[in-house]
Amino acid sequence: MLSSSFFTLLLALTAASSPVVIRDNLIKLPLVKRINSTGSANILQRDQARAKSFKTQGRPHSTQFKHGSTAAAAPVSVPITNGVVSYTVEVSIGSPAKTFNLIVDTGSSNTWAGADESNPVPAGSRSTGQLVEVIYGSGAFLGEEVIDTITLGGLTIPSQSIGDAVISEGFEGVDGILGIGPTDLTEDTTSGGGTVPTVTDNAFTLGLIGTKEVGISLEPTTSLSVTNGELVFGGIDTSKFTGNLLSVSVSVIPHYAVVFSLINVLSHSPITSTSPASTFVGIDQTITYGTAGTPILASTAGILDTGTTLLLIASDAIAAYEAATGAVLDETTGLLTITSAQFANLQSLFFQIGGETFEFTPNAQLFPRALNTAIGGQADSIYLIVGDLGTESGEGLDFINGQSFLERFYLVFDSGNSQVGLATTPFTDATTN
């Protein structure tokens, strides 16, 4: 529950160029996965709170700023870090630069820092005279929108609009968010109204990158904190995936079409128009279990989201999954669990997306066993990363393919051409867990 001071602070606040360089190489940023030992029940609760916000609000949102009521350079890549609850990327702000660890989030589009009060945004940032507020369901922040130079790996973006948090909740251990979702998700998050250009928008407009593509490579891990992912701006890293990129239509917001583009072949599916999934990177998919094709989730709409940890499916789909696998709820961790004998018989889940089938192996369905004790579980138990969305299917957002799914496939978000790519990787069939 957000404290009342979070909202009352809004009433107390008042409104109070670097050269552009064309890059010749991919801008790659390493991603770091961080394991927060707070118990997986908290992970599930956080994911469900985030899902509830998506479904009830239609986007990360501001309660205060709804107007009319009472969005030729080479690619740049950056490493990212994963912490079960979040993948983070190192971002520098200001000159001289200060370093911040920001959550990489395709489910929102505002970039902001200052969650850690000991590491505030540089005082030299130029004020826009506007307040900014975003509520995520699993957290929120309120502050001032400012302009400053930010650097991601080899990519330096002058005059980027970012949030300078005055107060935030739900972001322990990180400094804020790098929002790389659809631009329209920033609509009315500032007191000035309208949308806020994203990092990708600005880099493209300034000629720092040649396309509005963001390539995301995540990998399964058995370490508490490890740099095991990569974020690429302005293109894709073909070394990170195998085969082709799937072409499947998706909807990001009601007025924008986003397409999963399969290079060389494959069919297109109709653009998802189902709300509220259509507000985000929404797709239609069907899930079946095993070689017999046992139905788990009929064709329906949902989203792909780097900010969600688990693979969440509607409550009725979870019941079908439990019946198929024999899994039961573990009260201590909040995750489903199976016995060793049941694991020996566990079969793959099959995701039908855009006319193609993606296999999610038995190993991919496991929480990393080496990390069981870090989330309050038993070292010798077997936990599953398939979780309950918390609502029945048929509500317009019936699944969230979170980090646990995306660690097995390569994702490309191309906002410039309204398309997204999905492909297998060397980790699709890995037995890491």
Q: Taking residues 239-247, what's their average pLDDT?
A: 76
**Whole-angstrom Cα distance, residue 291 to residue 386?**
19
Pairwise CA distance, residues 196 & 128, whole Å: 12
**pTM for this entry:** 0.85
Q: What is the pLDDT of residues 103-122, one digit of tens each?
A: 999 999 999 999 999 999 99
Mean pLDDT value across the chain: 82
Same domain, yes or no: 107 and 168:
yes
Q: At residue 433, does pLDDT exceed 80?
A: yes
Do you find a cis peptide bond into 276, omega within 30 degrees of 0? yes
> Could you list the active site residues?
105, 305
Helix (H/G/I), strand (E/B), else coil: 12: helix
User: Is residue 229 located within the same domain as residue 351?
Assistant: no
Question: Model confidence over 385-402: pLDDT tens digits?
Answer: 999 999 999 999 999 999
Domain boundary among 233, 255, 284: 233
Give residue 77's pLDDT.
62
Alpha helices in 94-231 (DSSP H): 199-205
Whether residue 38 has pLDDT greater than 70: no
**Percent of the chain topping pLDDT 70:** 79
**Residue 354 domain-assigned?**
yes
* Burial (CB count <10 Å: 0-12, 13-18, 19+), residue 413: buried
pLDDT at 252 over 50: no
Instruction: Report CA-CA distances (Å) from 404 to 27, 54, 365, 409.
Output: 25, 19, 8, 10
- Give the model's confidence band at 163: pLDDT under 50 very low, under 70 low, under 90 confident, else very high: very high
CA 52 to chain centre: 15
Confirm if 365 and 335 have CB atoms less than 8 A apart. no
| Structure confidence at residue 161 as a pLDDT band (50, 70, 90) | very high
Query: Is the pLDDT assigned to residue 352 strictly greater than 80?
Result: yes
Confidence label for 256 from pLDDT (cuts 50, 70 and 90) = very low
Q: State the CATH number of the domain containing residue 345.
A: 2.40.70.10
The answer, yes or no, to whether residue 11 has pLDDT greater than 70, is: no
Asked if the model's pLDDT at residue 78 lies above 80, the reply is no
Q: Which domain holds residue 154?
A: 69-233
Whether residues 271 and 341 share a domain: the answer is yes
Q: Is 137's pLDDT higher than 60? A: yes
Count the alpha carbons within 13 Å of 280 in the hemisphere toward its beta carbon: 33
Whether residue 202 sits in one domain with residue 135 = yes
- 261 has a pLDDT exceeding 50: no
At 418, list the tokens: 């309204």
Structural domains in the chain (count): 2
pLDDT tens digits for range 173-193: 899 999 998 898 999 999 999
Q: How many CB atoms lie within 10 A of CB 63?
A: 11
In the predicted structure, residue 21 carries a pLDDT above the cut 50: no
Answer with the one of 188, 218, 233 that is the final residue of a domain: 233
Q: Which of 14-18, 279-283, 416-420, 426-430 has the weakest average pLDDT? A: 14-18
Higher local confidence (pLDDT), 422 or 14 = 422
Which of 211-225, 245-259, 287-301, 391-405 shows the lowest per-residue confidence on average (mean pLDDT)? Answer: 245-259
Residue-wise pLDDT for 199-213, tens only, equals: 999 999 999 999 988
Max Cα-Cα span within the chain = 63
- Structure confidence at residue 207 (pLDDT): 94
CB 60 within 8 A of CB 260: no
pLDDT of residue 300: 94
Tell me which of 272 and 372 has the higher pLDDT.
372
Looking at residue 190, what is its pLDDT?
97
249, 242 Cβ separation under 8 angstroms:
no
DSSP alpha helix (H) spans, 39-181: 40-57
- Model confidence at 343: pLDDT above 80: yes
Q: Which DSSP letter does residue 19 get?
A: P
98 with 184, same domain: the answer is yes
In a domain, 51, yes or no: no
Give the lowest-confidence range in 130-134, 154-158, 234-238.
234-238
Distant-in-sequence, close-in-space partners of 174: CB < 8 Å, separation ≥ 6 = 34, 86, 88, 101, 102, 103, 115, 116
In this structure, is residue 324 part of a structural domain?
A: yes
Domain-located, residue 186: yes
Q: Are residues 157 and 290 in the same domain?
A: no
* pLDDT score for 41: 54
| 255 class by beta-carbon count within 10 Å (0-12 exposed, 13-18 middle, 19+ buried) | exposed
* Same domain as 400, residue 291: yes
CA distance 133 to 141: 6
